[in-house]
């Protein structure tokens, strides 16, 4: 079986994200030339001053939003994994919204069809602007690598101090 | 164009709403925030009205940058009304998320008038404005109120500004809190809200906010983001404002035990350094901000384990050092108690510090305190007293009137321990040895305040002799004041002030990119001057003059006793006179501190000449 290229998506680090919503502003400005979080492809959730996270499309393998659409308006790009929306077919019924576990696909307040993160043609503006560098444009493999490096650094805290350089 | 160009009037007595277009002339002359708010306050009130009379407007004013991605300014609003503390201009700004939501709902300003028959909250859902029953919210903290409203209206993104039990009970230091941790803290705006039977304002806005020149605006903001990562904001991003504790202590400018001393032996234990090392769990940020300054402290162990609060220098000082308390866990607890009742932490700490001073001098005894041993350093007594103030129980009922009125009620010479200016409680700078700041405090239109002038900066930095009162300080104070009124009308966070390298030039460009209204740096400076004069004229209309530009009794009578560089320093009446004369002269005001008609004409306030006229003819 052919190996599919690893998909990169936008992921927020819960340790770093402070819920400032700069990503929402940048996204709505980039995509719609206005400031309006309800038109942003990435949304911030603050449950408590200490609990903040930006959430956007995670480009699921075998995306449930695509499968849930009764009108076949959604399709996942083989190459990038981005969810492509046929605005002619979409009637805003919202099955995909319910199917998404992350609230990453939303109904547009004006066009009344759904929209989601398109990764800004491979250069996500939110990642570029995030003041905390909490957003990463990464593959799942790189996220796993980072987690491994962090845990090893923690385990070898003392030894790390003596490593030259 | 980043203004919504709409003012929402809501009469709480009748429930009637009205939309008034926001005129271009108003935005040009007063910008937004406190500038616009004070003008609307003046226009919508009559002289001598009681701050708690239903006719007094309570104004929530956004700025031209609210709702945009402008860092710090994108999220803000200002609350303006007549202050129950001073009887003059009341104003306080708050950040977080709430301000942006007002703009997105399609308004620049809310003006609440009247008094609801029963407790209500206002629910603004874009164009729909409703009065909702708030009976079930009575007695709840602002944070609980926020949570309850969100739940019952069923939308996480609803933003709420609310008062706590203190505001309901018209405690004169009651504040308005939004987004859990952010407060429009000073001058008793929460009490004005309470007097209207208005428990909360809930807003959900889904409209677009646009700017005149989006691409250039974005580049400008990008530049600010870069600057915000640099040295201008390091303090706020690292130790935060509590860094001041050790700095001021070393200068002998840290007011301790209600201005008994100017250094604190427990300073290390309540320092920013220790706070960050031991208590700060995370530094978070407001909406649109690229700095993030908000130090969220969590008590890790002991009797107050788990207590969580945002911590800043001023309330830390007031509730801690000013009460002689050297335990950060108790100070964090005290702050969270203030947040619970919805009280300004600065005012609350200064009032309890005053009561402790009275207790130490036997003006208050255990009889008055219901058995509380209210000596300096007793943190348990502080916590109990805060509750009593928040609920107006026992001595708390008297203290809830603010330090000035409480001292008058207590009598027996208590006045000399009451640290306030114009009825507003002092803040955490010992101005006995900071004489430029002393002038700034004396003339501040909202009363005792470091944030109207920032005039401690030249003193602390050493660019002037801080122990000397001399000509030239008036010009220093005036210049910063005129910049600060612009900052508070654009409603930028003052922690970001250092990133506008070219002050009026940067701010004029910022304003123009957002609004499309051309303004030169010079014109903007005049606007800053106009807003300062406007506020002064409002106060003059309410009977203020030179006599009200005073300093707390201790500052003028008791030299700093500590063995420290500032030892012996205080501000004499002669020095204050010199400073005031100098300031009034550079302001173009009379010897009595009244703006002249010529000055008002010069800066476009001709229509207010009637206020200053009769006094001039006397």
**Contact residues, chain A, for B206 at CB < 8 Å:** 36, 38, 109
Distance from the B428 Cα atom to the nearest Cα atom in chain A, whole angstroms = 26
Across the range A65-72, mean pLDDT stands at 97
Cα–Cα distance measured from residue B366 to residue B372, given in angstroms and rounded to the nearest whole number: 6
Cβ–Cβ of A35/B211 closer than 8 Å? yes
Lowest mean pLDDT among A161-165, B313-317, B499-503: A161-165
- Report yes or no: B223 at the A interface, CB cutoff 8 Å: no
Per CB-CB distance under 8 Å, the chain A contacts of B286 are 20
Q: What's the DSSP call for residue B428?
A: S
Confidence of residue B61 (pLDDT cuts 50, 70, 90): very high
Are A25 and B69 in contact (CB < 8 Å)? yes
Average pLDDT rounded to a whole number, residues A47-75? 96
Please indicate, yes or no, whether residues A110 and A124 belong to a single structural domain of this protein.
Answer: no
Nearby residues of B348 by Cβ (< 8 Å), 6 or more positions away: B173, B315, B318, B319, B334, B338, B386, B389
State the number of CA atoms in the 13 A half-sphere of B445 facing the CB: 32
Number of Cβ within a 10 Å radius of residue B217: 24
Closest CA to B225 of A30, A23, A75: A23
pLDDT of amino acid A158: 84
Enumerate the residues of chain A whose CB falls inside 8 A of the CB of residue B69.
Answer: 22, 25-26, 29, 35
For chain A, the domain total comes to 2
Same-domain check for residues A52 and A122: yes
Within 13 Å of residue B75, how many CA atoms lie on the same side as its CB?
A: 26
Q: Which domain holds residue A133?
A: 1-56+118-139
Phi-psi region of B360 (alpha: psi -120 to 50; beta: other; left: phi over 0): alpha
Task: Choose among B287, B293, B292: nearest CA to B70.
Answer: B287
- Kindly state the helix (H) or strand (E) to which residue B425 belongs, with its residue range: strand B424-425
Q: Is the pLDDT of residue B400 over 60?
A: yes
Q: What region does A120 belong to: left with phi over 0, alpha with psi -120 to 50, or beta?
A: left
Q: Are residues A20 and A66 in the same domain?
A: no
> If we measure between CA atoms, which residue out of B35, B31, B166 comes closest to residue B445?
B35
The terminus-to-terminus CA distance of chain B in angstroms comes to 46
| Residue A164 is assigned to a structural domain of this protein | no
Please determine, for residue B617, whether its predicted confidence score (pLDDT) is greater than 60: no
Distance from CA of B200 to the nearest CA of A (A): 19
Q: What is the CATH number of the domain that holds A87?
A: 3.30.70.20
- pLDDT (tens digit per residue) in B580-615: 999 999 999 999 999 999 999 999 999 999 999 865
Closest Cα partner for B52 from B176, B199, B165, B197?
B197
Kindly tell me if the per-residue pLDDT of B618 is higher than 80. Answer: no
Residue A154 lies in a domain: no
Residue A3: inside a domain, yes or no? yes
Summary mean pLDDT of chain B: 97
Q: Please indicate, yes or no, whether residues A8 and A83 belong to a single structural domain of this protein.
A: no
Quote ipTM for the complex.
0.92
A42 and A67, same domain (yes or no): no
Residue A165 confidence (pLDDT) above 70: no
- Structure tokens given for B552: 């707390």
pLDDT at A2: 61
pLDDT, tens digit, for every residue of B283-298? 999 999 988 899 999 9
Q: Which residues of A touch B (CB under 8 A)?
A: 18-22, 25-26, 29, 32-39, 45, 48-50, 52, 109, 129, 131-132
User: b or e along B403-419 (b: 16 or more beta carbons within 10 Å of the residue's beta carbon)?
Assistant: bbbbbeebeeebbbbbb
* pLDDT, position A17: 95
* Adjacent-strand bridge partners of B93: B78
Kindly report, residue by residue over B226-249, the tens digit of the pLDDT.
999 999 999 999 999 999 999 999
Domain assignment present for residue A157? The answer is no
pLDDT classification of B192: cutoffs 50, 70, 90: very high
Segment A15-45, tens digit of pLDDT: 999 999 999 999 999 999 999 999 999 999 9
**In this predicted model, what pLDDT tens digit does every residue of B421-457 receive, in sequence order?**
999 999 999 999 999 999 999 999 999 999 999 999 9
Q: Pick from A20, A25, A38: which is nearest to B206 by CB?
A: A38
pLDDT of residue B552: 98
In a domain, A158, yes or no: no
Give A45's contacts in chain B (Cβ within 8 Å).
Answer: 156
Residues A12 and A41 in one domain: yes
Exposure pattern of A23-38 as b/e (b: 16+ CB <10 Å)?
A: bbbbbbbbbbebbbbb
Same domain for A69 and A80, yes or no, is yes
B288 closest CB neighbour out of A20, A52, A109: A20
Are B2 and B18 in contact by the 8 Å Cβ rule? The answer is no
Beta bridge partners of B310: B296
Q: Is residue A147 part of a domain?
A: no
- The average confidence (pLDDT) of chain A is 94
Q: Cβ contacts (< 8 Å) between A39 and chain B: which residues?
A: 208
User: Does the CA dihedral B420-B421-B422-B424 come out positive or negative?
Assistant: negative
Q: Are residues A63 and A106 in the same domain?
A: yes
Q: Which residues contact B451 (CB under 8 A, 6 or more apart)?
A: B427, B484, B494
Cβ-Cβ contacts under 8 Å for B478 (sequence gap 6 or more)? B532, B583, B586, B587
Q: How many angstroms separate the Cα of A111 from the Cα of each of A34, A91, B126, B615?
A: 15, 10, 18, 61
> Between chains, do B104 and A33 touch, taking CB under 8 Å as contact?
no
- Is residue A40, in this structure, part of any structural domain at all? yes
The distance of A4 to chain B (nearest Cα, Å) reads 37
Secondary structure E strands in B256-410: 280-284, 294-298, 308-310
Task: Give me the percent of chain A exceeding a pLDDT of 70.
Answer: 96
Provide mean pLDDT across the span B55-81. Answer: 97
Give the pLDDT confidence score for residue B593 in this predicted structure: 98
Verify that A2 and A47 share a domain, yes or no: yes
Asked if B286's CB is within 8 angstroms of A49's CB, the reply is: no
Contact A87, A111 (CB under 8 A): yes
Q: Decide if A105 is inside a domain.
A: yes
Determine the residue of chain A that is closest to B227 in CA distance: A131
Strand, helix or coil for residue B493: coil
Give the mean model confidence (pLDDT) for residues B192-208.
Answer: 98
User: What pLDDT is recorded for position B616?
Assistant: 45
B290 CB within 8 Å of a chain A CB: yes
A65 with A76, same domain? yes
**DSSP run (H or E) holding A12:** strand A8-12
Closest-CA residue of chain B to A32: B208
> Angle CA(B484)–CA(B487)–CA(B488) in degrees, nearest 5?
90
Q: B211-232, pLDDT tens digit by residue?
A: 999 999 999 999 999 999 999 9
| Residue spans of alpha helices (H) in B229-271 | 234-237, 244-251
Same domain, A67 and A36: no
| Number of inter-chain CB pairs under 8 A, A vs B | 84
Q: What residues pair up with A74 in beta bridges, in sequence order? A: A85
Q: What percent of chain B has pLDDT over 70?
A: 99
Within 10 angstroms of residue B49's Cβ, the number of other Cβ atoms is: 15
Query: What does the pLDDT read at residue A161?
Result: 82
pLDDT for B386 equals 98
B209: helix, coil or strand?
Answer: strand
Residues A52 and A2 both lie in one domain: yes
Domains, chain B, in order of start with CATH, read 6-204 (3.60.9.10), 239-425 (1.10.569.10), 432-617 (1.10.599.10)
């Amino acid at each position: 079986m052919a190996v599919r290229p690893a998909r990169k998506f936008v992921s927020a680090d819960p340790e770093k994200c402070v819920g400032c919503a700069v990503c929402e502003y940048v996204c709505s400005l980039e995509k719609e030339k206005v400031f309006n979080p309800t038109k942003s492809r990435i949304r911030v959730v603050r449950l408590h001053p200490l609990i903040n996270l930006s959430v956007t499309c995670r480009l699921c393998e075998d995306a449930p939003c695509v499968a849930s659409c009764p009108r076949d308006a959604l399709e996942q790009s083989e190459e990038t994994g981005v969810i492509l929306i046929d605005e002619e077919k979409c009637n805003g019924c919202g099955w995909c919204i319910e199917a998404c576990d992350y609230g990453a696909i939303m109904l547009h307040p004006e066009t009344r069809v759904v929209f989601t993160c398109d990764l800004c043609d491979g250069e996500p503006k939110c990642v570029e602007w995030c003041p905390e560098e909490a957003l990463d444009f990464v593959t799942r493999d790189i996220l796993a690598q980072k987690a491994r490096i962090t845990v090893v650094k923690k385990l070898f805290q003392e030894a790390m101090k003596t490593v030259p350089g | 164009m980043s203004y919504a160009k709409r003012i929402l009037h809501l009469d709480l007595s009748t429930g009637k709403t009205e939309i008034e277009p926001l005129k271009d002339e108003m935005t040009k002359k007063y910008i937004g925030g406190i500038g616009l708010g004070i003008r609307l306050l003046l226009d919508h009130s009559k002289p001598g009205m009681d701050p708690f009379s239903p006719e007094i407007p309570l104004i929530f004013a956004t700025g031209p940058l609210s709702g945009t991605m402008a860092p710090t300014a994108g999220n803000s609003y200002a609350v303006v009304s007549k202050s129950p503390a001073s009887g003059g201009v009341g104003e306080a700004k708050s950040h977080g998320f709430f301000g942006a939501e007002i703009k997105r709902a399609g308004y620049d300003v809310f003006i609440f008038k009247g008094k609801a028959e029963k407790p209500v909250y206002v629910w603004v859902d874009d164009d729909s404005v409703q009065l909702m029953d708030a009976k079930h919210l009575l007695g709840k903290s602002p944070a609980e109120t926020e949570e309850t409203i969100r739940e019952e209206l069923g939308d996480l993104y609803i933003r709420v500004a609310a008062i706590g039990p203190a505001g309901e009970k018209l405690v004169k230091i009651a504040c308005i809190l939004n987004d859990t941790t952010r407060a429009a803290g000073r001058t008793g705006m929460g009490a004005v809200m309470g007097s209207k039977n208005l428990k909360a304002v809930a807003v959900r806005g889904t409209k677009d906010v646009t700017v005149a020149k989006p691409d250039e605006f974005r580049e400008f903001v990008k530049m600010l983001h870069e600057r915000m990562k640099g040295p201008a904001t390091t303090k706020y991003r690292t130790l935060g404002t509590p860094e001041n504790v050790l700095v001021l202590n070393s200068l002998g400018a840290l007011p301790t035990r209600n201005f008994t001393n100017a250094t604190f032996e427990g300073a290390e234990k309540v320092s920013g350094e220790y706070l960050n090392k031991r208590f700060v769990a995370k530094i978070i940020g407001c909406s649109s901000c690229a700095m993030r300054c908000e130090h969220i402290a969590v008590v890790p162990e002991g009797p107050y384990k788990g207590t969580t609060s945002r911590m800043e220098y001023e309330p830390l000082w007031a509730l801690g050092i000013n009460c002689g308390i050297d335990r950060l866990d108790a100070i964090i607890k005290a702050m969270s108690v203030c947040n619970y009742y919805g009280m300004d932490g600065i005012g609350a700490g200064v009032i309890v510090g005053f009561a402790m001073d009275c207790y130490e001098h036997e003006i208050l005894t255990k009889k008055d305190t219901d058995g509380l041993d209210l000596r300096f350093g007793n943190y348990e007594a502080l916590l109990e007293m805060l509750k009593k103030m928040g609920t107006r129980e026992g001595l708390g009922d008297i203290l809830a009137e603010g330090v000035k009125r409480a001292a008058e009620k207590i009598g027996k010479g208590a006045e000399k321990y009451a640290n306030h200016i114009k009825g507003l409680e002092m803040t955490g700078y010992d101005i006995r040895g900071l004489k430029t700041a002393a002038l700034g405090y004396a003339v501040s239109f909202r009363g005792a305040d470091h944030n109207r002038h920032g005039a401690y900066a030249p003193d602390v930095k050493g660019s002037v002799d801080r122990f000397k009162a001399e000509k030239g300080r008036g010009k220093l104070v005036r210049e910063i004041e005129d910049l600060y009124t612009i900052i508070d009308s654009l409603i930028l966070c003052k922690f970001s002030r250092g990133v506008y390298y070219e002050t009026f030039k940067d701010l004029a460009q910022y304003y123009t990119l957002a609004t499309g209204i051309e303004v030169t740096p010079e014109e903007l400076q005049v606007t800053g001057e106009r807003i300062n004069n406007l506020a002064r004229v409002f106060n003059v209309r309410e009977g203020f003059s030179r006599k009200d530009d005073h300093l707390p009794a201790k500052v003028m009578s008791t030299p700093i006793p500590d063995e420290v560089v500032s030892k012996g320093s205080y501000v004499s009446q002669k020095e204050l006179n010199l400073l005031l004369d100098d300031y009034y002269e550079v302001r173009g005001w009379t010897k009595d501190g009244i703006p002249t008609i010529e000055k008002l004409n010069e800066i476009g306030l001709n229509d207010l000449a009637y206020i200053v006229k009769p006094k001039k003819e006397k």
